[in-house]
Structure 1
Amino acid sequence: MECTVVAHRSSSDHIQHTPTTSGQSPSFLPLIFLSLLYASQDQRNITDEDYMCKQQEKIMVTKSQNNTHSNVWALTLIAVGMVLQGVAKSVRRPMTTSYIDNNVKKTQTGKYIGIITAIGIFGPVVGFVVGTMCTKTYYDLKETNLSPEDPRWIGAWWLGYVIFGIAALLSTIPLIFFPRNQRKKPNHEEAIEMNEGRPESWMKTMNKKSEGNQAMKEIKKFFSSLRRIFQNVCCLLLLIGGGLDMMASAGLFSFMAKYMETQYLFPAWKSNAILGTTTLVALSIGTLSGGMITSKAKLKARGCLTYICLCFALVAVFHASLLMVGCKFPAMVGPEIIPSRITYINGTIVPNCKQSCSCDDSKYLPVCSEDGTNYYSPCYAGCKSKNGTRYTDCSCLIAGSTVESGYCANGCNHKIIYFSALLTLSALFGTMKIVPFSIAFIRMVEAKDKSLVIGVTSFLNSLLGWTFGPIVFGKLIDTTCLIWSSSVDSEQGSCVFYDTRQMKILNFSVSVGVSFLCGIVITIALFVLINKENSKKYQAVKTVYHPDTIRQ
């Protein structure tokens, strides 16, 4: 878990401040230690016999307080690392956007913001590729008899923190050699842009030391700027629309790999690989394209809002199309029989093997019978022995039948092509509105409020998007769970079997609804802006042709 801390020096007349120092917090180290220490106690001695039928055997259940204790520490470390990361990131976007807008022509701002944002978004692509390799490696880097397709497999999730933590530390070294201040000699046009909206006294106060309590003055300036931003109706509507959009996008993509695993029965590494090489590449291309279009078309606030509405409409169309792409809902025999919830599967009575075999619900290992039915574990099929990847001597199946490790083939893996294409297009048009959003914000406020409005945007996006978004979508996905596993202390574990059809409907229906709602909010902002511009034109014409003005 890395955290970049950036410090800035104060600026003087015609001097732009730049990052001068940066550091990393290796908060991932104790987390890795805890992971390797406690996980090894549970995973090293895995045997297939634990998942087979054991008649007349009583399951001994003991609670493990150590594991609970380690989980609390792990979650605490992750939370602290994320908070530190958020504090460090809060400086980057406002300063970058404001610096670019102050130092290039207004028509070129979109292009440069698009380039920088696209490079930043390309980071997750690299992350997913590295994550794919990490999840294909066992968590303790040792040999094991398990395969990545096995549900008991635990990938080396912590390895990514080590790789990117060290890389981030190395990347901060060039920042040490940056000058403390970067001088700039603006031409007349740029000077007008830089000083736009500032009071006349600003130029005078730049060449002398401020008097009185400077800290109090800065606090007053901050709240004055904040008041101007929230009193700007167009800006407020844009903040609401952008926050809702980020909540849906972050929530949807946080569980997209999980959705692909569930819908198409892919292992985690394969879902990550597909997601990283298709959708996330489209995110970078979309952001860069949005910046270029904004720059080439020389879009102002009004044009940006129109463009954003069009993007929302296209995203809603593609997400609605994803509702028609999916796999057939499979059947499973486990703690509950899905989907009929009765003792019949394909017209055959299914014996209750849980009691006779003393099946432990904390032991989840899906297997497939010859008639295409999934079983929660070999125990639920009554299997007592194993031959290679097949479990035999299964008392709950037709005589002579066996089960194979893994889920039954659903025959719809080819649909992943259509799914990936539609998801990529939605990601492409979804990110094409990122730069127009930024341009609209900085064109709707006074020049002195540009950095703050971008900072407020980043804060709301993080709060609504990356905090509430995954929580909301996580709760929605949990409602589609049909079978929950049990932990060793008899508490509810993770979901092992979902209603895939219901999950698909909930995921993309909510996404379509939010896109439609955001489009309405931005459309209202557009009409408010048009009325505001027309009012200004009317006032200008009234001033020119006013009788008193004519007599003068």
Structure 2
Amino acid sequence: MGKFSKLQDYVLAFTGNTTLLGKVAMKYALIAILLLICACILLFLSQVFLLASSFAYLAKTMSGAYMNSMLTQIERRFNIPASLVGIINGSFEIGNLLVIAFVSYFGAKLHRPRIIALGCTVMSFGCLLISLPHFLMERYQYETALSPLENSSSSMSMCLINQSQSSTHMEKQSAECEQKFGSLMWVFVLVGNIIRGIGETPIMPLVISYVEDFSKAENSPFYIGCLQIATVIGPFLGFMLGSYCAQLYVDLGFTDIEVTITLTDARWVGAWWLGVLICGSVNLLAGIPFCFLPKSLPKEGQASETELLSMRNVSLLQERSETQAKRKMREITKDFIPFLRSLFHNPVYMLFICITVMQFSAYIGMITFMPKYLEQQYGKSASEAIFLIAVYNLPIICIGYFLGGFLMKKFNISTIQAANIAFWISLIEYLIYFAAYFTVCENSPVAGLTVSYEGIEQVSYMETTLLADCNSDCDCSVKVWDPVCGENGITYVSPCLAGCTASDGTRKYTVFENCTCVAASGFSSGNVSAVLGQCDKEANCDMMLQYYLILSIVCSLIYSLGAMPGYMVLIRSLKPEEKSFGVGIHTLASRVFAGIPSPIYFGALIDSTCLKWGTLSCGGEGACRMYDIVTYRWFYLGLPAILRGVSYIPCVLILLILKKQLKSSDGKTLKRSPTAMEAREE
């Protein structure tokens, strides 16, 4: 109180009031002012934490959505198959699993805001590592019929009758490549994504626990709702950023060569690295406010004068809470095996895990390769595909989640009612889902791959079918992918394979002439030509895309409506003391058995439908340039249909179990209490 007395004396000397009444009044006035200042600081800190947490949620979901949107660009830039892209995508979940046990055990004991700040910083470092290959690799060079140094077309991609220059050049290039090491730069992306997953792990659980600790019971749902809003805005911003970056050429600001390919070309690579750097910067900024927040805040409405003015009492309270946390941790450790045994003997809980694994596997596989599906099926660019997903799907899913939760609260729905609602809503959406098989486009005509050189429809996975009588004298390479569109509406894999012997024009306006294979298809016997790029999709393909998007809106809304009732079945199937542990095991199972393997086997199935592979600089298969979209469609839509169809078996079993439990509980109630007739007689 010495410093406080001096402060009081200074104030009294300044006011000139030395009466006893004045001293007492001044004393309580100073105490009131100090209490008000401390209350304002605490209120400010709580609001700052809520804002900082919302920003952190937005940053982490934004970077996650952006990475999902850029998978196709990463596949093309590093010339890797879709199955390897699936491994990269699943590596984020691996990073989560590496530290989730550490965070769960030590997170509550340590300085939570600083751990959150560290997580944001680690995520930022992961993003930096992901973008690093762009600055270490050479400039992106795609296969092209045009010489990068001249305005004229390169003779190496033209039909050279009775000459062997083309094959000699290819053999020389392969011999030179044998002395170089293969590019493994995609490993940086893989490791960076693992680190990003490690950094993301502590954010959600520690933010939620911190909010629960300082907020009132009636305010907690509002605060958590604010955080959920951020998780909605984040993916939307991530997809919009992905759509923008996919329009920019990968070597933005560094290329002095005119880009001759369009956004819809299978060789196009957008500026994937730019958005990663932006996401990394946002994550870094999100972690800064947490560095200045205290280890804990007093409970709202429970701050007392002693807590505000006495640091000793505050430290005692912290020691007491730490002791209680340790005691609670010992109890949890002691009850670990009994809890685990109890969960394994809970049929509703175990069946719900089976449902989640199958449904989540279908969802993750579809959302991972959805941009690629829109590109291949409807001929859209990556930028357009990402934009359509963001605009059509994300908002409607949020509306569905909100309505589902609101209806659950409004009508006070029981567990058996929630299970029935979730089952029938999901089943209705599942049946509507099959309409997607009718909103399709057919394979584009590509000579030697989907049609013969005579224009007859035939799908071939063999490179030998690229050679025909009309180009047999041209000594063409079947490894090159540099498509040209003939006047007959058929695409040819390269000007050489189209039999073109001359060209006119420069750069992207080059026209290839005297194309013998175009003439051989019966289109014309005169001077026929071809232009750069694939031929456009069929006329009704845009209309089919509109039908598919409308269908996706309906399915997303219906499916999201049943998500909240279904999740409540999980929560209510657990005992109060088992809820935290049960939800953790449920999350772990969904990540291990769905989040990690699903993108890998979806990618492997998609790879199996590839008709024309790109070629690595030193030989070997690179990224796929063209798919058999009919088989692709059956795999992309069929595998989720099978997984979800099987998941309805445990759904039916849960309904039967809940009905049986309801009947048994009603029977016990009737035995214990008199019937209505007996009650009336009494």
TM-score interval w.r.t. the shorter chain?
Answer: 0.7 to 0.9
For residues 640 and 293 of structure 2, the distance between their equivalents in structure 1, rounded to whole angstroms, comes to 43
After TM superposition, the structure 1 stretch with the greater mean CA deviation from structure 2, 261-270 or 288-297, is: 288-297
| Aligned partner (choices 268, 278, 302) of residue 153 of structure 1 | 268
Distance 1:355 1:362, change over 3 A: same
Distance 1:404 1:22, change over 3 A: same
Per the alignment, in what secondary structure is the counterpart of residue 344 of structure 1? coil
What is the match of residue 450 of structure 2?
338
What is the match of residue 378 of structure 1?
495
Paired residues of 2:126 and 2:195 also in contact (CA < 8 A): no
After TM superposition, the structure 1 stretch with the greater mean CA deviation from structure 2, 113-122 or 309-318, is: 113-122
Using the size of structure 1 for normalisation, the TM-score is 0.81
Do structure 1's residue 84 and structure 2's residue 195 form an aligned pair?
A: yes
Paired residues of 2:362 and 2:643 also in contact (CA < 8 A): yes
| Aligned partner (choices 239, 250, 263) of residue 364 of structure 2 | 250
Distance 1:495 1:37, change over 3 A: same
Paired residues of 1:287 and 1:435 also in contact (CA < 8 A): yes
Do structure 1's residue 284 and structure 2's residue 398 form an aligned pair?
A: yes
| Aligned partner (choices 479, 486, 496) of residue 625 of structure 2 | 496
* Runs (5+) with no aligned partner, structure 1: 12-16, 188-205, 547-552
What is the match of residue 513 of structure 1?
642
Paired residues of 1:235 and 1:441 also in contact (CA < 8 A): yes
1:130 Cα deviation after fit: 0.6
Q: Which has the higher helix share?
A: 2
Paired residues of 2:240 and 2:390 also in contact (CA < 8 A): yes
Query: Where do 1:470-489 residues align within 5 Å?
Result: 470-489=599-618
**What is the CA deviation profile of residues 164-197 of structure 1, one whole-angstrom value per residue up to 9, with x for unaligned ones?**
111111122333344433444899xxxxxxxxxx
1:10 Cα deviation after fit: 4.1
Per the alignment, in what secondary structure is the counterpart of residue 181 of structure 1? coil
What is the match of residue 131 of structure 2?
32
For residues 445 and 348 of structure 2, the distance between their equivalents in structure 1, rounded to whole angstroms, comes to 51
| Aligned partner (choices 426, 429, 433) of residue 315 of structure 1 | 429
* Runs (5+) with no aligned partner, structure 2: 1-62, 65-94, 148-152, 303-319, 458-464, 520-525, 676-682
1:42 Cα deviation after fit: 4.1
Paired residues of 2:108 and 2:206 also in contact (CA < 8 A): no
Larger of the two Rg values belongs to structure = 2
| Aligned partner (choices 647, 650, 653) of residue 524 of structure 1 | 653
Using the size of structure 2 for normalisation, the TM-score is 0.67
1:457 Cα deviation after fit: 2.4
Per the alignment, in what secondary structure is the counterpart of residue 624 of structure 2? strand
What is the match of residue 405 of structure 1?
532
1:68 Cα deviation after fit: 5.7
Paired residues of 2:476 and 2:497 also in contact (CA < 8 A): yes
| Aligned partner (choices 169, 181, 204) of residue 296 of structure 2 | 181
Distance 1:66 1:316, change over 3 A: farther
Give identity over the alignment, percent: 23
Query: Where do 1:210-249 residues align within 5 Å?
Result: 218-249=332-363
**What is the CA deviation profile of residues 299-338 of structure 1, one whole-angstrom value per residue up to 9, with x for unaligned ones?**
33323222221232132123201001111232212xx442
1:527 Cα deviation after fit: 1.9
What is the match of residue 166 of structure 1?
281
Do structure 1's residue 21 and structure 2's residue 148 form an aligned pair?
A: no
What RMSD in Å do the two structures reach over aligned CA positions?
3.8
> What amino acid is aligned across from residue 28 of structure 1 in structure 2?
C
**What is the CA deviation profile of residues 85-136 of structure 1, one whole-angstrom value per residue up to 9, with x for unaligned ones?**
4344445556677888998889x96x98777446424422211211111111
Distance 1:498 1:373, change over 3 A: same
Do structure 1's residue 367 and structure 2's residue 484 form an aligned pair?
A: yes
Query: Where do 1:2-13 residues align within 5 Å?
Result: 8-10=107-109
1:415 Cα deviation after fit: 1.7
Distance 1:18 1:516, change over 3 A: farther
Paired residues of 1:250 and 1:470 also in contact (CA < 8 A): yes
Paired residues of 1:438 and 1:454 also in contact (CA < 8 A): no
Per the alignment, in what secondary structure is the counterpart of residue 444 of structure 2? coil
Distance 1:375 1:216, change over 3 A: same
For residues 250 and 162 of structure 1, the distance between their equivalents in structure 2, rounded to whole angstroms, comes to 25
Corresponding residue pairs, total: 517
Paired residues of 1:122 and 1:283 also in contact (CA < 8 A): no
What is the match of residue 234 of structure 2?
123
After TM superposition, the structure 1 stretch with the greater mean CA deviation from structure 2, 217-226 or 157-166, is: 217-226
1:259 Cα deviation after fit: 0.9
For residues 311 and 153 of structure 1, the distance between their equivalents in structure 2, rounded to whole angstroms, comes to 41
After TM superposition, the structure 1 stretch with the greater mean CA deviation from structure 2, 112-121 or 50-59, is: 112-121
For residues 180 and 572 of structure 2, the distance between their equivalents in structure 1, rounded to whole angstroms, comes to 53
Per the alignment, in what secondary structure is the counterpart of residue 536 of structure 1? helix
